[in-house]
Amino acid sequence: MCYNINVKMKNLKIFLLFFILFTVSNLSEADFPKYVFLFIGDGMSVSSEFAASSYLCGTGGNLIWDSFPCKAFAATWSLSCVNERNPDGYDAIKAGAVPYPYYFSESSEKYFETASATDSAAAATAIATGKKTVNGCISTNEKGSFFENIFDILNKQKIYNTCLITTTFFYDATPAAFAAHNISRQNRKQIAEEILSISKPEIIIARNEYDYLKDTAETNGYYVTNSKEIKNNMLFYNDSKKLFVILDNYNIPIPENEKNRPSFSYREDDLKFSEIALFAADKLLAKKKPFFAVIEMSDIDSANHDNDYHTMVSSVYELHNAVKSIIELINSGKTDMTPKNTLVLVTADHATGFLRFNEQPQKGRLPSKMIFAGKNMLLKFDRTVKYKSKNHTNELVGIYAFGTQSDLLKIYAGKNGIIDNSDIFKILKKTAVK
């Protein structure tokens, strides 16, 4: 009798053990994405998204991420923005709980004219570490004290490969905050060396202006190549090596200006941003390991700084197309990636340019380019749009989530639909850190 009870108890324990193991393994699969893509449009104001969507379709809300199941707006302020007049960093009562063009008032316009804004270093630090800092700092506080960033955490746990892609230099502020620490974004060589010799993302695709860094990369186990080799399909490297692709043939395409016919012309030898994203996904998947990829389109910011509407529309389009290609790949069933094991986040680090519309932009149409004669004499101008600044603004930006764990965005955004940019780190940490 006793024996039978013991046997039954033993069987029950074994059953329970299997049940728990099965549940936990299923939970881990459901809870933790195997693959994470974080797309960042540098300086991509909600007006920039509206402009690109209107050029493509005649109305706002038609970019690929507008179809994502979870959407919110993110506050981007840094500690440099906080003062007596603006103690909370972002004042939703004065500035609005949704950004332009979905909200407009005299008081919100006045607020943005006077409120200080973050720079890319502090904004990327908030996203990469969950901590606010002052402008100029790369994952440190104003005294240079180290903040642990998401790549530090992932490197320690050794489950995910990391990947850093940008259309600018890999040691520029936005990518740097994910893979380096420095009191000043200007210390570019120090930042580059830390990325290549300490953080060591598995794949880097970016511009590089210091030739000697190729040797630094090779010493640290990288296969170094040029992006022309991707275009020519001439890349021969061993998948077990880290890969550093120096971006030399990437340029923003030129948009045509013809009513109802949006189109872009590319230089013959150039890569498209979508080709870069797909190439990286292919190489990362070949390594048969979970990965965490940060993919930045930096040219939206520079175009908005220049008040260059045409280049801004093209660069938002390039980001849209890259995200679209990755979503199509996830849904295609051709790879191991599925919406159930992959998380895609799209956001901006801050808004730039203070862009306003006097008329709804039409499909395929772009405002005339400003033509200056001499320093200040404006010969040609267009009244349909207006850039009110050449700098960053404290406006809210969009954030969009697709795939497993995208609901976390709703949780952190709360009732008013605004998430702080430092909470993006919490989403990344919750989803990618086991």
**Footprint on this chain of Zn ion (rule: CB under 5 A):** 301
We find the least distance from the C-beta atom of residue 191 to Zn ion, in angstroms, to be 17
Q: How far is the CB of 304 from Zn ion (least distance, A)?
A: 8
Could you tell me whether strands 385-387 and 355-357 are parallel, antiparallel, or unpaired per DSSP bridges? Answer: antiparallel
Closest contact distance (angstroms) between CB of 201 and Zn ion is 23
Judged by beta carbon, residue 298 or residue 404, the one nearer Zn ion is 298
Distance of CA 314 to the CA centre of its chain: 17
CB 303 within 8 A of CB 174: no
DSSP string for 105-134: -HHHHHHHHHS----HHHHHHHHHHS----
Closest to 295 in 3D by CA, of 255, 338, 248, 349: 349
Q: How far, in Å, CA of 286 to CA of 176, rounded? A: 25
Q: Which is nearer to Zn ion, 161 or 307 (CB)?
A: 307
- Closest to Zn ion by CB, 41 vs 262, is 41
Nearest residue (CB) to Zn ion, 301 versus 308: 301
E strands present in 266-325: 291-297
> Measured at CB, which residue is nearest to Zn ion?
301
Compute the least distance from the CB of residue 81 to Zn ion, in Å.
15
The nearest distance, CB 40 to Zn ion, in angstroms, is: 12
- The secondary structure of 8-51 as a DSSP string is HHHHHHHHHHHHHHHHHHHHHHHHS-SEEEEEEETT--HHHHHH
Structure tokens at 83: 């003062």
Q: In whole angstroms, how close is the CB of 278 to Zn ion at the nearest point? A: 27
CB of 150 to Zn ion, least distance (A): 22
Asked if residue 79 lies in contact with residue 119, where contact means CB atoms within 8 angstroms, the answer is: no
CB atoms within 10 A of CB 251: 14
Least Cβ distance, residue 352 to Zn ion (angstroms): 5
Give the C-alpha distances (Å, rounded to integers) separating 350 from 12, 44, 168, 381, 395: 56, 7, 17, 27, 7
DSSP 258: -
**Closer Cβ to Zn ion, 242 or 350, answer by number:** 350
Nearest CB to Zn ion, comparing residues 284 and 303: 303
Q: What does the alpha-carbon distance between residue 183 and residue 401 come to, in Å, rounded to a whole number? A: 31
Which of 62/168 has CB closer to Zn ion? 168
Closer Cβ to Zn ion, 91 or 301, answer by number: 301
Q: In the chain, count of helices (H) and strands (E)?
A: 15, 18
